[in-house]
Structure 1
Amino acid sequence: MSTTAMSNIVNSGVIACLRAQSADVALEAARAAIQAGISVLEIVVSTPGVFQVLHQLAQEFPTTTLGVGTVLNLKDAQNAKNAGANFIMSPAFLKDILDEDLLYIPGVMTPTEILSSYNAGAKIVKVYPVSAIGGVQYIATLKKPFPHIPMVASQGITTDLVGAYIDEGASAVVLSDAIFDKKAISQRNFTAIYQLARFAALQGHEAVKRKEKIYPS
């Protein structure tokens, strides 16, 4: 299962990250993004009713890769798994939530954290907070010593930079406000979210396709 989630993330190039003030807004925003072409979606654990929302989405969109973000303890990790999550993410590395059946993407910042997380069993890591520590150039630099470690770039990324991150070696990027715009969420403007998600999904798809041409498997 974790292998499927991993390949879906790499094939998508984009992980849409949703946080909302209520379960019903989260559900509607998620539906809009998925219908627009987003195939990998994480919902932040602080969203009210996050596990119920995830369970509902898993039933409605069985082919979508769904995850829970900002997981900080084993209980939330288990709840995510029980709700049907395909992956979980956290802002740091938590060894006790590594799971054979669930793809775990820990947050890392330094070369030491990247290597030790990978050696401890993480199959892919999340470089966070990427835009605060050098952005695209930071990923390019990290991929030189660690070409074998899959990395997701996360925090403050705009849709126009998706291609640049993937070109420089990121397996995928996390887009939060770039898809789930704060104003659109607060105004329940799901049409705007649909349009932002459609554009983001297209950017991810094009970047992945370009990468496959350069590095055919």
Structure 2
Amino acid sequence: MAVTPASRVPATELLDIASHGPVIPVIVIDRVPDALPLAEALLAGGVKVLEVTLRTAAGLPAIEAIARHLPEAVVGVGTVLDADDARRASQAGARFAVSPGYTAAVGSACQRLNLPLLPGVATSSEIMAALADGFSFLKLFPAEAVGGIALLKSWASPFARVSFCPTGGITQASAPHYLALPQVRCVGGSWLTPADAIRAGDWARITALARASHALRNAGPGSSE
């Protein structure tokens, strides 16, 4: 069932989230005690919008810890697969949701919760379904696997009113190529929070990666960043 216009969360809320920086870190947390020092390290590097995925059992309590103790962070939930994921994350304090694909059920659930949703798409049909339900800021996922920059360029004309946050396989080196596209508001990436750095508690390394991410939008496709 399509989302009714009266229930739609304004797209400006998600676009505001995208305005905080060129990269939204895609965070996988295995140990809840890592959540706060990791978020603090990212904040120290000027990255305040954090996507904590539900790929591990620690994801939900990590969101709750960050939301409770670090209100200056804009913590969201990733890997939202159904309405229950959205409900539990909203109760934990998530301020936005990200899904790997799009279904009307997930869209409707997020609208009912007043939880801004960044829906994942990989095809033109999925874009049309998301647009029909009121979503025009979308996540291209998995970006590199489905065509990446070439696909986004081919969509520029038929979907001129759609903007994107490509995620999946994007690196520090490839991010400037995506960010150079006019319809790309930001990118999602896991390179800001390397698993080995989290395991080692190397928060200084994560802060350095966060700081470096701010230059990516201006780095240009030919940069070695």
TM-score when normalising by structure 2: 0.82
Structure 2 Cα separation of the partners of residues 175 and 150 of structure 1:
17
| Residue from 159, 162, 169 that aligns with 1:146 | 159
Let me know the Cα RMSD of the aligned residues.
2.1
Q: Which runs of 5+ in 1 are unaligned?
A: 211-217
- For these two proteins, the number of residue pairs brought into alignment is 206
Query: Is structure 2 residue 131 aligned with structure 1 residue 122?
Result: no
2:204 alignment partner AA: T
Contact 1:139 1:153 in 2 (8 A): no
Displacement after TM superposition at 1:77 (Å)? 0.3
**Equivalent in the alignment of 1:12:** 21
Structure 2 Cα separation of the partners of residues 158 and 67 of structure 1:
21
Displacement after TM superposition at 1:114 (Å)? 1.0
**Equivalent in the alignment of 2:3:** none
**Equivalent in the alignment of 2:5:** none
**Equivalent in the alignment of 1:54:** 63
Q: Which structure is higher in helix share?
A: 1
Displacement after TM superposition at 1:175 (Å)? 0.9
1:61 alignment partner AA: L
Structure 2 Cα separation of the partners of residues 25 and 61 of structure 1:
14
**Equivalent in the alignment of 2:6:** none
Structure 2 Cα separation of the partners of residues 35 and 133 of structure 1:
34
Distance 1:91 1:143, change over 3 A: same
Q: Which runs of 5+ in 2 are unaligned?
A: 1-8, 221-225
2:147 alignment partner AA: G
Structure 1 Cα separation of the partners of residues 154 and 35 of structure 2:
36
Distance 1:4 1:64, change over 3 A: farther
**Equivalent in the alignment of 1:173:** 187
Query: Is structure 2 residue 96 aligned with structure 1 residue 87?
Result: yes
Structure 2 Cα separation of the partners of residues 143 and 61 of structure 1:
38
Displacement after TM superposition at 1:11 (Å)? 4.3
Alignment of 1:54-73 (within 5 A): 54-73=63-82
Displacement after TM superposition at 1:69 (Å)? 0.5
Report % sequence identity: 28
SS at match of 1:153: coil
